[in-house]
Amino acid sequence: MTTTADPTRRGRPGYDRDSMLEVVVGVFNERGYDAASLGSIAEKLGLSKSAIYHHFASKEQMLEVALGRALDALEAVFDAPEATTGAVVSRIRFVVRGAVLVLCEQLPFVTLLLRLRGNTPIELEAMRRRRDIDRKLRALFELSRDEGTLRPDMEPRIAERLTFGMVNSIVEWYRPDGPVSPEQLADSVLELIRTGLREPSSL
């Protein structure tokens, strides 16, 4: 009787796929994906290359799985019912809060996503998915403009870029073991958006 390998089972010596991927992503972020070799990954893990192949077929698959983890989490926020129905301002607040929380919870993975250069088909596909997320936030700001809750001197495209620029900058300084919790950080980002982008009469 044959059995199908479970990709989450623990490997050698004590890594499962998720814990191995966290180390791999750390190497990608430290060295850059292009410069990170299987040899450097194996050295960081304390494994042989053959042990790595127990979980991943290639460095490219590692990248694809890692980027998918970040993008799947972000897309889930924007596809949630709270992001697609209801008052526009509430929808904007939901997606921005969700994006901040995802970034904090998936910090190494989102960092990897934001540092892509587009040198491979996998990177190009990830960047396409990221642009789709950008467009979803821009569409919400367009709805906000149309209903009069976005200040009239603010273009939706600029509002989207400023908002994601602020959110994305978190990867450069946020530390999970620091004094600010993800929820507090999300509250601070939302307060800046509330005071900076909304029409004063809708505050």
Token code pair at residue 74: 């972000």
> pLDDT for 167-186, tens place per residue?
999 999 999 999 999 999 99
- Banded model confidence at residue 196, pLDDT cuts 50, 70, 90: confident
> pLDDT for 23-73, tens place per residue?
999 999 999 999 999 999 999 999 988 889 889 999 999 999 999 999 999
pTM of the model: 0.86
Taking the C-alpha atoms of residue 172 and residue 170, their distance in angstroms, rounded to an integer, is 5
Convert 8-30 into a string of H (helix), E (strand) and C (coil). Answer: CCCCCCCCCHHHHHHHHHHHHHH
Q: Which residue has the tokens 């990608």?
A: 28
pLDDT of residue 152: 87
Domains of the chain by range and CATH? Answer: 17-57 (1.10.10.60), 60-202 (1.10.357.10)
Residue type, 202: S
> pLDDT for 70-89, tens place per residue?
999 999 999 999 999 999 99
